[in-house]
Amino acid sequence: MSFLRSELLYSAGFRHAFSTRRGGVSQGAFASLNLGRGLGDDDASVSENHRRLAELVGYGADALHEIEQVHGARCLTLDARLSPDHTRVMQADALVAPAREGVVGVRTADCLPLLLACPGSGSVAAVHVGWRGAVSGVVAAAVRALLAPDASDRERVEGAGDLLAAIGPHIRVGAFEVGEDVAARIQAAAPGHPVIEARGSRRYADLARVVSAQLADLGLSAARVDDVGGCTFSEPERFFSYRRDDGRTGRQLALIGARA
């Protein structure tokens, strides 16, 4: 089994992982480390895949908090009342875990997984960023929730400068062709930053640049944002890809644990 990790997060003491598709027991279109439920894969295989990853990274598989991802901007913050069974049926695209409150993760198969951590408090967030989420403001919503919902804009900018961020494997700009309307909406989500590449009449979106630009506008310096690499579309031996595989495919998992 293999997974990717961020040296920034690792050096700061945060357990985390960006899974690949290698090292599981699922078969066929879901081979082999599918971590997405309800896709048509065998439930027992998915559970075993989760158990294997949890054992390798060092957390309890039954302690992982996930959400029903809907390509929006809602951020859910954990508290003692929310069990993993509760969060799994709640609709959101970002999960925040305050210090000592558990492990959070998001599933992807082309969208961008973003992990955030606050070294000072130990709080973390896992964010599912598709182009719709990027346009809707899910990155800013996660940063606000991670810092403090009631903080002023100035306090958030100052606090954001202390965060760490890691961008995981996703569909990269060379494979992410979009229409003119979508390209315009994505570009508007990162004003002042070129995030669309034109190749003749075709337009290609760079999700990593969009997220990096949004994080920069929120106060994170480039030195505190780590891109671990990987293109889900162009590396079929390493990653699941919804676009490449016409929708019938597994899911990677990006996860991070809150630190005391």
What local confidence, expressed as pLDDT, does residue 160 receive?
A: 85
pLDDT at 75 over 80: yes
Q: How many other C-beta atoms lie within 10 A of the C-beta of residue 245?
A: 16
Look at residue 203 and tell me if it is in a domain. no
Q: How many other C-beta atoms lie within 10 A of the C-beta of residue 143?
A: 28
pLDDT at 13 over 90: yes
Strand partners, 116: 125, 165
Look at residue 210 and tell me if it is in a domain. no
Q: How far apart are CA 133 and CA 77, in angstroms?
A: 17
Task: Summarize pLDDT for 133-146 with one digit per residue, the tens.
Answer: 999 999 999 999 99
What's the angle, vertex CA 116, arms to CA 215 and CA 48, rounded to 5?
A: 135
What local confidence, expressed as pLDDT, does residue 151 receive?
A: 54
What local confidence, expressed as pLDDT, does residue 159 receive?
A: 76
Binning pLDDT at 50, 70 and 90, where does residue 87 land?
Answer: very high
Look at residue 161 and tell me if it is in a domain. yes
What local confidence, expressed as pLDDT, does residue 50 receive?
A: 98
Look at residue 159 and tell me if it is in a domain. yes
Residue 240 near residue 19 (C-beta atoms within 8 A): no
Residue numbers of the domain that contains 136? 3-170+221-257
CATH of the domain at 245: 3.60.140.10
pLDDT at 53 over 60: yes
Look at residue 48 and tell me if it is in a domain. yes
Look at residue 207 and tell me if it is in a domain. no
pLDDT at 157 over 60: no
What local confidence, expressed as pLDDT, does residue 101 receive?
A: 84
Residue 31 near residue 42 (C-beta atoms within 8 A): no
Look at residue 99 and tell me if it is in a domain. yes
Mean pLDDT for 33-43 is: 98
The pTM of the full predicted model, rounded to 2 decimals, is: 0.97
How many separate domains does the chain show? 1
Task: Summarize pLDDT for 109-155 with one digit per residue, the tens.
Answer: 999 999 999 999 999 999 999 999 999 999 999 999 999 755 555 45
Give how far Cα 179 sits from Cα of 128, 134, 192, 202, 211, Å.
Answer: 22, 16, 20, 8, 20
Look at residue 101 and tell me if it is in a domain. yes
What local confidence, expressed as pLDDT, does residue 153 receive?
A: 55
